[in-house]
């Protein structure tokens, strides 16, 4: 059995206002091509970027799923960006080969995946994003609510999974067991583009809770397909193997150096799955540039003209029409900051605010413009301030 593990598509998201539709379309085409190589495609949450996605993105997902199901099996769980109810509204009506897990109560319901011979080749358990305030009620076994934390609700969902492995329909079947989860697992490296999961101050869960043990009938969990963090990475130990596939597209400059990929997991040896990272297509790279205006526009960075650019311009004085002139050189400029190399941070005291407003204004000009004001400018400021003060005295 081979599965393609993906997550965090975030269809509909923008990057500093830039439309990423082409990048999403390229990614979806890429996944469809990879589907011919695998027995199943998993999407571990955050299919859309918000609860009410743009119509164009709904259509794109619909077309993509139609093509995927014609080639392989697909399992989707909801993430913290998705609206679980909207994403899973027709889950009971879906055609064979497509399963959506959006209800926490269904975490322990097995999803059998067929191998090339038509036999059950793997079992998947889908844990959607668990909102502690809701899941602590839905997953409680008795009248007592679960603790208000991600660890508590994920542990409860895993308890249902363990129970199914022990005594469910497929108990004792020697096939890989895969858990999908959308959560922040301790040890993962976040970026700036994930939405915080802070709920009551407890936002993460330890990796050890996924170790259900190999003493169960048919063995325990062999792979945990994680979603939420946007950088592809391994977390926890090897029992079970746990990976974040990462997002397919960079959504902030903190992801500039991510090597975006999807994860193909081969379960030829179920307890020691082999992982192959397949590079994701890059529609337009992200680049951060730093230097004087002359250095940045001299032609030295001509290769970056087609990239999404974040620029830090270090001239002592802010060049005139900075953004407009930079955009002529870098058409996909998304962020431009004037950060003079000589800038120093000054603190204005309360007494300065009370007694010398011109000094305070001068400090602001120094910080914002990268140079101190001249004597002539100070005289003009003093004259203007005195005129305002005199007018207020009337």
Name the residue ranges covered by the structural domains of the chain.
Answer: 2-279, 286-338, 350-393
| Residue pair 191/229 in contact by the 8 Å Cβ criterion | yes
SS3 157: helix
pLDDT tens string 377-388? 888 888 887 777
- Residue by residue, DSSP assigns 209-231 as GG---S-STT-S--EEEEES-SS
Q: Which residue has the tokens 């048919």?
A: 218
User: Residue 307 belongs to what H/E stretch?
Assistant: none
Least confident of 20-24, 120-124, 135-139: 135-139
Least confident of 30-39, 134-143, 193-202, 346-355: 346-355
Residue 294 pLDDT:
95
Q: Which residue has the higher pLDDT, 4 or 370?
A: 4
Residue 363 pLDDT:
75
- The CATH code of the domain at 2-279 is 3.60.21.10
Least confident of 158-167, 213-222, 298-307: 213-222
Q: Which residue has the tokens 């990879």?
A: 34
| Residue pair 186/206 in contact by the 8 Å Cβ criterion | yes
Tokens of 275: 């992982």
Residue 201 pLDDT:
38
| CA dist., res. 374 & res. 334, Å (int) | 33
Q: How confident is the model at residue 389 (pLDDT cuts 50, 70, 90)?
A: low
Q: How confident is the model at residue 275 (pLDDT cuts 50, 70, 90)?
A: very high
pLDDT tens string 221-263? 999 999 999 999 999 888 899 999 999 999 999 999 999 999 9
Q: What angle in degrees, to the nearest 10, is found between the helix axes of 357-369 and 375-393?
A: 140
Tokens of 23: 């990048």
Q: How confident is the model at residue 320 (pLDDT cuts 50, 70, 90)?
A: very high
Residue 345 pLDDT:
44
pLDDT tens string 341-366? 765 444 344 444 545 677 777 777 77
Q: How confident is the model at residue 35 (pLDDT cuts 50, 70, 90)?
A: very high
Strands (E), the chain: 2-6, 14-15, 18-19, 40-44, 73-77, 98-101, 111-114, 120-127, 177-182, 223-227, 233-238, 241-244, 261-266, 274-279, 286-291, 308-313, 333-338
Radius of gyration, CA atoms only, the chain: 27
pLDDT tens string 58-102? 999 999 999 999 999 999 999 988 876 677 555 554 668 999 999
Residue 91 pLDDT:
56
């Amino acid at each position: 059995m081979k599965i393609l593990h993906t997550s965090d598509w975030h269809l509909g998201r923008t990057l500093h206002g830039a439309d990423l539709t082409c990048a999403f379309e390229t990614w979806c085409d890429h996944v469809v091509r990879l589907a011919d190589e695998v027995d199943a495609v998993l999407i571990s949450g955050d299919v859309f970027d918000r609860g009410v996605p743009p119509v164009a993105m709904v259509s794109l997902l619909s077309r993509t799923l139609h093509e995927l199901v014609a080639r392989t099996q697909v399992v989707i769980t909801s993430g913290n960006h998705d609206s679980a109810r909207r994403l899973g509204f027709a889950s009971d009506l879906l055609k064979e080969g497509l399963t959506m897990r959006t209800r926490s109560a269904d975490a322990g319901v097995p999803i059998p995946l067929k191998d090339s011979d038509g036999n059950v080749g793997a079992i998947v358990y889908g844990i959607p994003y668990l909102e502690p305030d809701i899941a602590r009620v839905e997953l409680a076994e008795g009248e007592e609510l679960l603790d208000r934390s991600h660890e508590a609700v994920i542990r409860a969902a895993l308890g249902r999974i363990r129970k199914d492995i022990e005594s469910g329909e497929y108990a004792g079947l020697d096939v890989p067991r895969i858990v999908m989860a959308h959560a922040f697992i301790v040890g993962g490296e976040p970026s700036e583009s994930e939405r915080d999961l802070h709920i009551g101050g407890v936002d993460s869960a330890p990796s050890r809770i996924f170790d259900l043990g190999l003493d169960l009938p048919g063995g325990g969990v062999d792979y945990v397909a994680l979603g939420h963090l946007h950088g592809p990475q391994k977390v926890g130990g090897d029992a079970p193997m746990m990976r974040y596939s990462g997002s397919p597209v960079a959504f902030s400059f903190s992801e500039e150096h991510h090597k975006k990929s999807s994860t193909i997991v081969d379960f030829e040896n179920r307890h020691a799955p082999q992982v192959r990272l397949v590079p994701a297509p890059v529609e337009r790279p992200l680049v951060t540039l730093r230097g004087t205006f002359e250095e940045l526009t001299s032609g030295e960075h001509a290769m970056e003209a087609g990239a999404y650019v974040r620029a830090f311009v270090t001239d002592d004085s802010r060049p005139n029409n900075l953004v407009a002139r930079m955009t002529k050189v870098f058409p996909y400029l998304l962020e431009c900051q004037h950060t003079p190399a000589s800038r120093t941070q000054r603190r204005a005291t309360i007494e300065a605010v009370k007694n010398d407003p011109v000094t305070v204004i001068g400090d602001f000009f120094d910080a914002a413009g990268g140079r101190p004001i001249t004597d002539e400018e100070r005289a003009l400021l003093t004259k203007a301030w005195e005129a305002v003060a005199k007018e207020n005295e009337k």
